[in-house]
Structure 1
């Protein structure tokens, strides 16, 4: 069984940072498979934290040696080039354990902070969410996986024929590329989608989470499915995992770490088959549509 938990990385002073460090140490000992850097509201909704998660991810991941560490992002207020560069670095720093969670929930405070230029009609928000993901992925695809050479003896750094412009043009974003950072170890960091946050998206995710009604009503297309549970619903959640209706549980609420610890004592981790998150989860590396075709 896969186990997931969210933590809000928004400390306001040194004492809060120390408390956050102790919290992450407890999560590491409890054996989480996924840690979502997101603020959890009283209703169970996830939204980006006060501090930018892609900035705090490397610090958190240093204390979390085994889980996939996932940065929650404001999907319609983020810039693809900035996110692609930051998450590429995070994936290298974690040896392929980085993920991202583009969210629509909590966007009102970003509308207020960014101004009217970022305010969208409700009908355009999912379309911009999807365009943001496509543009960011295109920038990662501006590099081939083996473009870096790093040969000290020959002095070669990279194969420039494997780095290219992508000229992505969507309804909301346009980016020429290439990215000024190498393709991440996973090809793309794991894409996580909260089905309770966005409906109607055309983007297939690597990991999806949501309530039982959401998981039952969506074609996950091979994605890892995480069911949101609280202390009151954890037994029902375990039953759905046993019947194959979910692959794991996302624990929430004030006692989430205690729930995580109790669940791990009763459910062993799935055996790891590789070092990166994709290898561990049995997910293929994404194909690069911009790579040059090798002549037959």
Structure 2
């Protein structure tokens, strides 16, 4: 055990030991996304109390528990076996056991396994009890500087985009049309491609979090068309795990009237020969309409043009 966590176990017992932990229940436990100190006292107490811990990766969870000085039986439950493994968890709960579920990092069921397990537990008439904690989604949103007093506070959790083909193109078109904030996740080997795709959104702001809560954490807010340059400026910028918040459309862009009929006619003609970005630019020069408005209109027109 890491000696620095010895006092934490005593504090966990003092803070959470008197609380009620029903038998025959699944406990869905958030774990740190990088910094081991981001575990809650209730989670520490609960993980030492349960009969077993179902987890996404038994080796990873064993190391995590060892750091805290905890040792419990582990059950593998990941995206490839979640449906079958959930049956075994339900059977153990029906015998009155307490079972915890943890993913590799963060809150289970948020772009991690856990949702199917909870659905199976609830379908069996049993309880799934959440123990909140770390999440890359809320961690990044908390410092992205989004408004919190009106409709700008709305956000969508998008997660990982499809990796290629028509599904990715459709997801990117939808993303560009969303007026509110969107939270994305990306792996290091695909972050450059995502930055290239987001560049089409021009001056729209994006906040990127790299290696959140870890020693070399970086946070940056910049225009979408500047993100690829920021990544290329330093090889370190492209390493690690990434979360991104695509900021809401600027009010003017979100509320401006669409292009008139003549501008749309010109745009349609140009789309037959040019990529959307170039067509929108030329249509704006020819008609005097807003390039951003034409680009947004073109996102809806492009499938038909294709």
Q: Which one scores higher on RCO, CA 8 angstroms, separation ≥ 6?
A: 1
Larger radius of gyration between Structure 1 and Structure 2: 2
What's the TM-score, normalizing by structure 1? Answer: 0.26
Name the one with the larger helix percent.
2
Q: TM-score, normalised by structure 2?
A: 0.26
